[in-house]
Structure formats: C-alpha cells, structure tokens
Structure 1
C-alpha cells in the first residue's frame, strides 16, 4: 500500500467490514477521476479481476487494459491478490487496495478538480441538449420552418436567435410552453441568495407530488453560485 494513503474510520455508506482509505496524493487522486482510469477503479473497488476479464468487461483492447492496470499498480491504487495457474505464464488477478476511498478536494490541483466537474457537467449538458434538439424537431417537423437567424442589432452587434422564417423571430414561450432557459447575473446579499435558494428548492420539490393528467418527465437544472468577474470569461 502506498505511503500516501492513510486509514480512516469507515464511512456511513461502507459496511462494517469495509476499509475506507483517504487519498492524499495528487497523482493518485487525479488518476482515480481520470476517464481513462476511473472505469478500472470502478471495476476493481470491492471486486477482483484479471486484465483479460477487465478488457472484456470494459470493451477495451487487451493492451490498453494491461497498460492502465500497470499504471494504477505503480501508483499504489491496485494490488495483485493472487495468481491463477495455467499453461504458460500464470494469470494475475487484481483488486483495488481498499474497498472504499475518500478523496478530499484538497488532494486535487485546481485544474484537475475543474476538469472533474466539467466532465460531469458535459454529461448533464449533453442530456439537456439532446432533449432540446428532439423537441425542436418534434415541434417543427417541416423543412424550412425553424433555424438560427443571424443579424446585427441597432448597436451594430451581431446577434443570433431562433426564427421560424427569415426575419421572424420565434416566440419561445408560445412555441415551447413547457420549456424555459435562464442564465443571468444577479447581485444578491448572502441573505437574499439563501432565500432565493430556499424558494427554488421548495418550488422544485413541490411539483413531483402533483400527478394530474399524464405527466411527462422534464429535466430541471438550477445552479446558484457566487461568481467573480473572471468566472464569466
């Protein structure tokens, strides 16, 4: 086990037999959330497998699986639990060095942590965009009835908006009565921000209890976070 791990008390989500380890090494933390290596950690945390089995499970080339396993082994995140005899070279079976991990954000560099959240947000954004594009095609199935309209406003700035025809901007509220999108900057005190957060949370929690008619699943994404000027760049 690597010296950069320290044993901690089992987290509530762990069983009584579960050993939880705290990752304090930035290289280990980065590898555990990297898209090339995180599937291996997922597969081998609390489980064991050979490289061949991992390659089949993850649909990776055998060489790729072997390289990534060796990288995690060198980082101290995996261990060899046994070797299975066979004709020729024995097969090594691997497992994560613990059955649960705690990764404090302080273990990550700023850039690595930002990349982690960006990857998650990309998945969320892809789902939202996929649903939105499907709604566009379902609402305007006829060719030539919807598309971006590029124009310059009175101040000479180039603008882009959805239009139903050349020069005819789309009334989004009328075209998509159950859809809305907001991205705006608000100047709020801490008390006002807390109040707005509570109102939004309470409002979002209220609607799942309403089952009139035939409900259709909707995506709702709300973020309220203090931002600096450079965050908008």
Structure 2
C-alpha cells in the first residue's frame, strides 16, 4: 500500500473534519465510481453526495477520471486522489484529538448511553416481577459505605461481587482500580487480544449477513491521585 497523502490545505482539511464527507470519500477509496454509485454504497441522498463530491473535487481529494458517454448528459466517473490520507493535528482547526477524529468518542458515548437505557428498561419490564428498582445507601461488608442501584430487597452486596439486576446481553460498568504498572499492562494486553479476536469474527458475520450489531466500549488510562479520589467518591466509597 502506498504512503498516505498528507493534507494541509485549509479547505481540504475542513472537508476531512466532517463525518459525512469522510463517509462519501470512503465510497471512492473502495474504487472509482459515479455520484449515483457512491449514493448507493453509502445510503446518503444523491443530492448530498453530489454536493460533497464537487467539494472534494475542488479540494483535489477526488479526481475526475473520465466521462462515460450516454444519451443525454455524460456520467462523470471520479476516483480518490490517493489510497489514503493523513491530516496532521497541527494543521487542523480542532481543539482536541476527539474533534480531529470526527468526534467519534462523543458519538459512541451518547449512543452507548441511549442503547443501555433502552435495553435495561426492556429487561426490567420483563424480569422485575413487580419489584422496584432504586438507589441504595449502605455499609458494605468491607467496612466502607457505598451507594449503588439494585432491586428493593436485594442482598446488600456490590454488583461487582454478585450481580442481582436484570439479566441480558448488556454490560454497563464504570470502575476504577488500584494496580501496579505491570498489572495494568497485563490488563491492556488482554483487552487488545480480545479486540483482535473479535474483529475478524465481526467481519465474517457482516459478509455473511449473520449476527446482530453490539456496541463494545473499553478503556484504560492512568489518572492522578486526586482524580482517583474523585472516582471513589462518585462510586460512593469512603
């Protein structure tokens, strides 16, 4: 694969900061084609695709390779100017790396929140059997007080020890841990290996039209001592 084309022109950089534009450019990274073909590949309205293609062409990101003659107006065939592109962070008018990457982290977080709330509500309706779900404040067996959510009458045990809520194919957990750097690296390796194992499986299902989509969010990052104390406060531990 050839090296990515570095993009520094302000107009081109602004285009590549937009998620919809990237989606349409992606259709041409897969091969040359017309505006209508790109619209079919992406599922985006053809008028929107036409507008974005013209902008990408003017910015030099797409190239006009030929015009296929037919009765009436000829069909213009475009191709990507390179097989890959690179936008240096220093040239982008973006305040954060998340903005440079298209704001994916924020979009994923919001989608995860919505999907988790929807799935929990469904499971709760199916399994509650008249029980109320609510917030608890109690003294944990380890000696600290904590607050969490559970069914009324459930045993006063942290969900990380024994989960007593609705059961289904969902997991929504924010947790902080105190680890050595070696232990943290081991956790990191385990998470990376899991992602590497899931990727080819996911691609196989997409190509076969099997399975269903799931959103998986993983993260591991060191925090300061002060931030760690704040996380424990959020978790209701003292």
Alignment TM-score, normalising by the size of structure 2: 0.60
Correspondence 1:224 to 2:221: yes
SS state of the match for residue 33, structure 2?
A: strand
Quick one: which of 50, 65, 68 aligns to 2:49? Answer: 65
Name the counterpart of 1:147.
133
Equivalenced residues, count: 195
Name the counterpart of 1:175.
163
Question: How far apart are residue 133 of structure 1 and its match?
Answer: 6.0
Question: How far apart are residue 206 of structure 1 and its match?
Answer: 8.3
CA distance in 2, matches of 1:131, 1:82: 48
CA distance in 2, matches of 1:219, 1:46: 26
Structure 2 residue runs of 5 or longer lacking an equivalent are 138-145, 196-213, 231-238
SS state of the match for residue 79, structure 2?
A: strand
Residues 108-123 of structure 1 aligned to structure 2 (within 5 Å):
108-111=92-95, 113-115=97-99, 116=101, 118-120=103-105, 122-123=107-108
Residues 47-126 of structure 1 aligned to structure 2 (within 5 Å):
47-111=31-95, 113-115=97-99, 116=101, 118-120=103-105, 122-123=107-108, 126=111
Structure 1 residue runs of 5 or longer lacking an equivalent are 1-13, 152-158, 209-216
Whether contact under 8 Å (2:98, 2:105) holds in the other structure is: no
CA distance in 1, matches of 2:36, 2:216: 39
Whether contact under 8 Å (1:161, 1:169) holds in the other structure is: no
CA distance in 1, matches of 2:159, 2:70: 66
Output one character per residue of 1:127-173: Cα deviation in whole Å (capped at 9) or x when no partner. Answer: 5874686467557713543534499xxxxxxx984231399977423
Distance change >3 Å, CA 135–CA 69, structure 1 → 2: same
Alignment TM-score, normalising by the size of structure 1: 0.61
Output one character per residue of 1:91-130: Cα deviation in whole Å (capped at 9) or x when no partner. Answer: 1111111122223332323336322263145336745874
CA distance in 2, matches of 1:120, 1:127: 10
CA distance in 2, matches of 1:27, 1:223: 35
> By percentage of residues, which structure has more strand?
1
CA distance in 2, matches of 1:168, 1:133: 25
Larger RCO: Structure 1 or Structure 2 (Cα < 8 Å, ≥ 6 residues apart)?
Answer: 2
Name the counterpart of 1:29.
13
Whether contact under 8 Å (1:197, 1:224) holds in the other structure is: no
CA distance in 1, matches of 2:63, 2:28: 10
SS state of the match for residue 12, structure 2?
A: helix
Whether contact under 8 Å (2:136, 2:150) holds in the other structure is: no
Whether contact under 8 Å (1:163, 1:169) holds in the other structure is: no
CA distance in 2, matches of 1:141, 1:125: 26
